[in-house]
Structure 1
Amino acid sequence: MGSLTTLGKPKGQAWLLVLSIILVALVLRAPITSVGPIIEQIRVSMGLSGAMTGLLTTLPLLAFAFISPLAPRIAACIGMERALFYAAALLTAAIAVRSLPSVYALFLGTALLGAAIAFGNVLLPSLVKRDYPDKVGLMTGVYTVAMNLGAAIGSGISVPLTEGLGFSWQATLAVTALVAFLSAVVWLPLLRRNSSGPKRGKADLSSERASHSSLRRKLWSSPLAWTVSLFLALQSFCFYVNVTWLPLILVDKGISHADAGWLLSVMQLIGMPSTFIIPILAGKRASQRGLAILTSSLFVVGYLILLLGSASWAFVSMIVLGLGVGGGFGLALMFFALRSSSTEQAAELSGMAQAIGYLLAATGPLLFGLIHDWTGNWNVPLMLILVISVVYGLLGLSAGADRKI
Structure 2
Amino acid sequence: MLNDTTGSAGNHSGVSNRNKINILSFLLSASGILIVAINLRPAIASVAPLVGQIQSDTGLSNTATGLLTTVPLLCFVLLSTTAPRLGRRYGEERTIAVALLLLFAGILLRVVPASAALFGGTILVGIAITGGNVLLPTVIKKRFGAQSGVMTGLYTMGISIGTAAAAGLTIPWQHFTGLGWRATLAVWAVPAVLAVVLWLPQHRDPTGSTADAIGDARGGQAWRSPLGWGVTGFFALLSLTFYTVIAWLPKILTDNGMDPTTGGQMLSLANLVGIPFSLAAPIMAARSSRQVWITTTFPAMLLIGLLGLTLSPRSGALLWVLVLGVGLGGTIGIGFMLVVLRAADARGAAALAAMSQTAGYLVAATGPILTGALRDLTGSWTLPLLSLCLLVAVQIPVGIYVGQSRQFGATADAGRVVLRSRAPRPYYVDAEAGLANTGEEDSRDSHASDADRGVRQKGEPAGRDT
TM-score, normalised to structure 2's length?
A: 0.77
Quick one: structure 1 residues 115 and 100, their matched pair in 2 at CA, closer, same or farther if it must change by over 3 Å?
same
Partners of 2:169 and 2:265 within 8 A in 1: no
The number of residue pairs the alignment matches comes to: 389
Q: C-alpha distance in 2, partners of 1:107/1:374?
A: 24
Q: C-alpha distance in 1, partners of 2:384/2:180?
A: 35
Question: Which of the residues 80, 99, 108 maps onto 1:87?
Answer: 99
Kindly state the Cα deviation for residue 47 of structure 1 after the two structures are TM-superposed.
5.1
Q: C-alpha distance in 2, partners of 1:119/1:344?
A: 20
Quick one: structure 1 residues 214 and 358, their matched pair in 2 at CA, closer, same or farther if it must change by over 3 Å?
closer
Residue equivalent to 1:336: 339
Partners of 1:148 and 1:269 within 8 A in 2: yes
Task: Using the aligned pairs only, state the percent identity.
Answer: 39
Within 5 Å, give how 1:159-308 maps onto structure 2. 159-195=171-207, 215-308=218-311
Cα RMSD (Å) of the superposition? 2.7
What are structure 1's unaligned runs of at least 5 residues? 1-6, 198-204
Within 5 Å, give how 1:41-190 maps onto structure 2. 41-46=53-58, 48-190=60-202
Partners of 1:123 and 1:347 within 8 A in 2: no
Kindly state the Cα deviation for residue 289 of structure 1 after the two structures are TM-superposed.
1.0
Kindly state the Cα deviation for residue 296 of structure 1 after the two structures are TM-superposed.
1.7
What are structure 2's unaligned runs of at least 5 residues? 1-18, 409-466
Letter in 1 for 2:184: T
Quick one: structure 1 residues 369 and 54, their matched pair in 2 at CA, closer, same or farther if it must change by over 3 Å?
closer
- Whether 2:326 is the aligned partner of 1:314: answer no
Letter in 1 for 2:287: K
Per-residue deviation, residues 245-303 of structure 1 (Å, max 9, x unmatched): 33333344443333333222211111112111111111111221110110121012212
Partners of 2:375 and 2:384 within 8 A in 1: yes
Letter in 1 for 2:294: L
Rg larger for: 2
- Whether 2:371 is the aligned partner of 1:359: answer no
- Which structure carries more relative contact order (alpha carbon 8 Å, separation 6+)? 1
Quick one: structure 1 residues 368 and 100, their matched pair in 2 at CA, closer, same or farther if it must change by over 3 Å?
closer
Residue equivalent to 1:3: none
Question: Which of the residues 390, 393, 407 maps onto 1:390?
Answer: 393
Per-residue deviation, residues 108-150 of structure 1 (Å, max 9, x unmatched): 1110110110111122223222222312221111121111111
Quick one: structure 1 residues 347 and 120, their matched pair in 2 at CA, closer, same or farther if it must change by over 3 Å?
farther
Letter in 2 for 1:359: L
Partners of 1:72 and 1:351 within 8 A in 2: no
Residue equivalent to 2:457: none
Kindly state the Cα deviation for residue 79 of structure 1 after the two structures are TM-superposed.
2.2
Q: C-alpha distance in 2, partners of 1:76/1:345?
A: 18
Partners of 1:126 and 1:337 within 8 A in 2: no
Quick one: structure 1 residues 216 and 193, their matched pair in 2 at CA, closer, same or farther if it must change by over 3 Å?
same
Helix, strand or coil at the partner of 2:218 = helix
Helix, strand or coil at the partner of 2:362 = helix
Q: C-alpha distance in 2, partners of 1:252/1:43?
A: 14
Quick one: structure 1 residues 81 and 310, their matched pair in 2 at CA, closer, same or farther if it must change by over 3 Å?
closer
Quick one: structure 1 residues 255 and 48, their matched pair in 2 at CA, closer, same or farther if it must change by over 3 Å?
closer
Kindly state the Cα deviation for residue 97 of structure 1 after the two structures are TM-superposed.
2.1
Quick one: structure 1 residues 44 and 268, their matched pair in 2 at CA, closer, same or farther if it must change by over 3 Å?
same
Letter in 2 for 1:402: S
Quick one: structure 1 residues 326 and 190, their matched pair in 2 at CA, closer, same or farther if it must change by over 3 Å?
same
Partners of 2:103 and 2:124 within 8 A in 1: yes
Partners of 2:63 and 2:373 within 8 A in 1: no
Q: C-alpha distance in 1, partners of 2:166/2:349?
A: 29
Q: C-alpha distance in 1, partners of 2:107/2:181?
A: 12
Within 5 Å, give how 1:5-20 maps onto structure 2. 10-20=22-32
Letter in 1 for 2:172: P
